[in-house]
Amino acid sequence: MKITPHVLRATLLASTIGLALAAHAAVLKTDAAKSSVSATFKQMNVPIEDKFKKFTAVIDYDAAKPDASKATVEIDTASLDLGDPEYSKEVAKKEWFNSAQFPKATFVSTSIKAAGAGKLTVTGNLTIKGKTTPVTFPLTVTTSGGKQVFDGALPIKRLTYNIGEGQWKATDMVADDVLIKFHVVAGQ
């Protein structure tokens, strides 16, 4: 075969991809604009869903080898948007996330297992406000527009992590149950 610039370029590209795949399964690029992380809670029985404006999700996923997947999510606790700047600035306070001392909430996976078509069972450590607990939750994976879409919901109890101290400890105002939902769109 005659080596033309065209063939050379193709070979180089193929080997680069090969190298990248060898180094790690496939770290996907998160599309921040299409991804979201939210917290749903009940306030006097009223369901309210608020989004975290700043977070990063690093997902290392290969559909061919789902069990080799890894995921890390970092959320800026002060970025929870309650829909009103006056309220939103409250969440960074000591009683809630204490963002000055604990700016980030993190999730680091310890094991990801395939659980049927397009489904994964994710286990890992969730750290909020300095408290770490092991959590397991189901995650679905779909493909949309050439990108992988990960959807999951993780129910937690806010008081486990001391979120809402003092006068907010009572659960008749803000319920203990909080559902963390995430929707991560990522591609090569």
Residue selected from 3, 19, 44, 117 as contacting other proteins according to rule CB under 8 A: 44
- Shortest Å distance, C-beta 168 to other proteins: 7
Nearer residue to other proteins within complex by CB, 75 or 174: 174
Helix, strand or coil, per DSSP, at residue 14: helix
Residue 52 identity: F
d(CA 67, CA 173): 41
The closest alpha carbon to 156, from 38, 34, 35, 30, belongs to 38
Restricted to residues 90-119, the positions that interact with other proteins (CB under 8 A) are: 90
Amino acid letter for position 42: K
86 touches other proteins by CB under 8 A? yes
Q: How far is the CB of 45 from other proteins (least distance, A)?
A: 5
Q: Interface with other proteins by CB under 8 A: which range of 80-88, 106-114, 118-126, 176-184?
A: 80-88
Asked if 54 contacts 97 with a C-beta cutoff of 8 angstroms, the reply is no
Q: How many binding residues for other proteins (CB under 8 A)? A: 19
| Residues 117-121: contacts with CB under 8 Å, at least 24 apart | 118/142, 120/66, 120/69
Rounded Cα distance between 126 and 130, Å, is 10
Query: How many Cα atoms sit within 13 Å of 171 on the Cβ side?
Result: 11
Residue from 7, 15, 18, 49 binding other proteins (CB under 8 A): 49
- Smaller CB separation from other proteins, 4 or 167: 167
- Residues 156-185, interacting with other proteins (CB under 8 A): 167-168, 170, 173-174
Binding site for other proteins (CB under 8 A): 43-50, 83-84, 86-87, 89-90, 167-168, 170, 173-174
